[in-house]
Homo-oligomer: A and B are copies of this chain.
Amino acid sequence: MTTTPVKSFDLDALTASLEGIEIITEPSQVAKLSQDYHTFSPVLVPKLEGKVGDIVVRPANEAEVLKVAATCVKHRVPVTVRGAGTGNYGQCVPLHGGVILDMTRMHEIRWVKPGIARVEAGVKLAALDKKAREIGWEMRMTPSTYRTATMGGFIAGGSGGIGSIQYGFLADRGNLLALQIVTMEDEPRVIELRGDDVQKVKHAWGINGIITEIEIPLGPAYPWAEVIVTFPEFMAAARFGQALGDADGMIKKEISIFASPIPDYFAAFREYIPDETHAALLILAEPSLELLPGLVEQYGGKITYQKTATDAGKGTHLGEFTWNHTTLHARSEDTSITYLQSTFPADKNLQMVEHMYHHFGDEVMMHLEFTRVNGTVVPVGLQLVRYTSEERLNEIIHYHEEQGVFIANPHTYIIEDSGRKVIDPEQLKFKEMVDPYGLMNPGKSKVLEFKI
């Protein structure tokens, strides 16, 4: 990791060069737009404290992005691209100041066709979903932040979410069709990456070019119903989740399982989940709903809440209590809570889930999201951890890893230390081309020197 101090640059000269493009210099605004939700991690908070950009630039179109890129290259100013800042690992917190490139003004939906859409990077996920549903389609997968998150932010810093039980993750071949980027060369170019080439840019936290447009496949917009099922035994709830995931004839968008006392944090649904019971929050296609009671009964559960697709559009959305919104709700009541991101080994009997559930007890509260990983239904854990110290957190992480549970550590802002483990060599090669001066989100990778 580089600790080279940022080379000072002439802010006035930079500002002058950006004339005609919207900028924000008011310090409290700049500080706010230098943040994301890394506050979920007590480890990251002190490390990222005081890290702010010098100026926020808000381009309205590709021409303005090209101008910003050329200007920043000329002045050797670091550029940290951001969408809505809903990431959790400090992905868009600038380590070396410079320009915060806020893409939210570029929110045009270029087109939506059956099964495919093309959007500008600043389009909100919910906005694309709304537009696509007009013709019977929707996003294949969305994070729990989909009301505010942008498409560019999701591609650069997200991984999957609600819908991953059906389509796997963004990184899976076919879940992203094309990216358009602007390079940070002396003469910035627009490059279109299609098919497997999108791998060169995606989930790289904005170090590999400024994503300006995204072509993404859509899934059919089923009429989605929302259901809560409660269970007296946690492992029955977990195995119910696996069985529902494995039921190929039942179309589902979300299967999340929560050990007691996690549901206590869900104020909106508290009345449907009795004390000391464990809960499954489900989003199911209505044509599959009639088959649910039989499966629920098999695992000793009880359906306590059910909302039709028509009603699910109103009021509180079940999806907003899943994935990392679970952590958000827990932390809104108890800020000492943090979380893990883990993938359990494929095992229909969930032995490792059971082991961890008993091993850590109340210290690591089990929150499972069922997903497809390489064709197999497996639970991803976003366990809630009662944080005591960084040392203990690392112990918990290492214990999981030793037992064969894959951990995508959310308590680091270094790409290689999180889910990726190593930086993709293709991404590195591509970076050399598109960001020869290493100006993009510098300091987020171990292997990349911040050159200026």
Judge if A424 is at the interface, Cβ distance under 8 Å.
no
Judge if A223 is at the interface, Cβ distance under 8 Å.
yes
Judge if A377 is at the interface, Cβ distance under 8 Å.
yes
Taking a contact as CB atoms closer than 8 A, the residue among B116, B217, B219, B250 that contacts A173 in the complex is B250
Contact between chains at B115 and A286 (CB < 8 Å)? yes
Contact indicator per residue, chain A 291-321, by CB within 8 Å of chain B (1) or not (0): 1011100000000000000000000000000
Residues of B within 8 A of A291 (CB): 173-174, 177, 195-196
Task: Choose the segment among A36-44, A47-55, A241-249, A256-264 that binds chain B (4+ C-beta atoms closer than 8 Å).
Answer: A241-249
| A436 → chain B closest CB, angstroms | 27
- A249's nearest neighbour on chain B, judged by CB, is B174
Query: How far apart are the CA atoms of A108 and B234 in the complex, in Å?
Result: 47
Judge if A251 is at the interface, Cβ distance under 8 Å.
yes
Judge if A287 is at the interface, Cβ distance under 8 Å.
yes
**Given A222-B115, A223-B114: A290 and B173 interface contact (C-beta under 8 Å):** no
Contact indicator per residue, chain A 279-294, by CB within 8 Å of chain B (1) or not (0): 0000001111011011
- A295's nearest neighbour on chain B, judged by CB, is B173
Judge if A389 is at the interface, Cβ distance under 8 Å.
no
| A246 → chain B closest CB, angstroms | 3
Contact between chains at A375 and B115 (CB < 8 Å)? no
- A166's nearest neighbour on chain B, judged by CB, is B248
Contact between chains at B246 and A375 (CB < 8 Å)? yes
Residues of B within 8 A of A247 (CB): 172-174, 375
| A154 → chain B closest CB, angstroms | 15
Q: Give the interface centre of A174, A219, A294 by most chain B CB atoms within 10 Å.
A: A174
Residues of B within 8 A of A248 (CB): 166-169, 172, 174-175, 372-375
- A170's nearest neighbour on chain B, judged by CB, is B249
Judge if A376 is at the interface, Cβ distance under 8 Å.
yes
Query: How far apart are the CA atoms of A167 and B252 in the complex, in Å?
Result: 12
Contact indicator per residue, chain A 168-184, by CB within 8 Å of chain B (1) or not (0): 11001111110000000
Judge if A194 is at the interface, Cβ distance under 8 Å.
yes
Contact between chains at B249 and A288 (CB < 8 Å)? no
| A341 → chain B closest CB, angstroms | 19
**Given A217-B287, A217-B288: A249 and B173 interface contact (C-beta under 8 Å):** yes
Contact residues on A (Cβ < 8 Å of other chain), bracket: 35 or more
Contact indicator per residue, chain A 325-367, by CB within 8 Å of chain B (1) or not (0): 0000000000000000000000010000000000000000000
Judge if A136 is at the interface, Cβ distance under 8 Å.
yes
In the complex, chain A residues 206-240 whose Cβ is within 8 Å of any chain B Cβ: 217-220, 222-223
In the complex, chain A residues 88-145 whose Cβ is within 8 Å of any chain B Cβ: 114-116, 136, 140
Residues of B within 8 A of A172 (CB): 247-249
| A201 → chain B closest CB, angstroms | 16
**Given A167-B249, A196-B294: A287 and B173 interface contact (C-beta under 8 Å):** no
**Given A115-B285, A376-B375, A377-B375: A249 and B175 interface contact (C-beta under 8 Å):** yes
Taking a contact as CB atoms closer than 8 A, the residue among B114, B169, B374 that contacts A246 in the complex is B374
Taking a contact as CB atoms closer than 8 A, the residue among B167, B285, B293 that contacts A195 in the complex is B293
Contact between chains at B290 and A177 (CB < 8 Å)? yes
- A378's nearest neighbour on chain B, judged by CB, is B375
Query: How far apart are the CA atoms of A172 and B250 in the complex, in Å?
Result: 8
| A193 → chain B closest CB, angstroms | 12
Residues of B within 8 A of A348 (CB): 374-375
Query: How far apart are the CA atoms of A136 and B177 in the complex, in Å?
Result: 22
Query: How far apart are the CA atoms of A373 and B246 in the complex, in Å?
Result: 8
Residues of B within 8 A of A285 (CB): 115
| A280 → chain B closest CB, angstroms | 16
| A451 → chain B closest CB, angstroms | 33
Besides A175-B248, A246-B376, 14 new A-B residue pairs in contact (Cβ under 8 A), listed by A number: A115-B285, A115-B286, A116-B287, A168-B248, A173-B250, A174-B247, A175-B249, A177-B287, A196-B294, A217-B249, A218-B287, A247-B375, A248-B373, A248-B374
Listed by A's residue number, 21 A-B pairs whose Cβ atoms lie within 8 Å are A114-B222, A140-B249, A167-B248, A168-B248, A168-B249, A169-B248, A173-B249, A174-B251, A175-B249, A177-B287, A177-B290, A195-B293, A196-B294, A217-B288, A218-B287, A245-B375, A246-B374, A248-B374, A348-B374, A375-B376, A375-B377
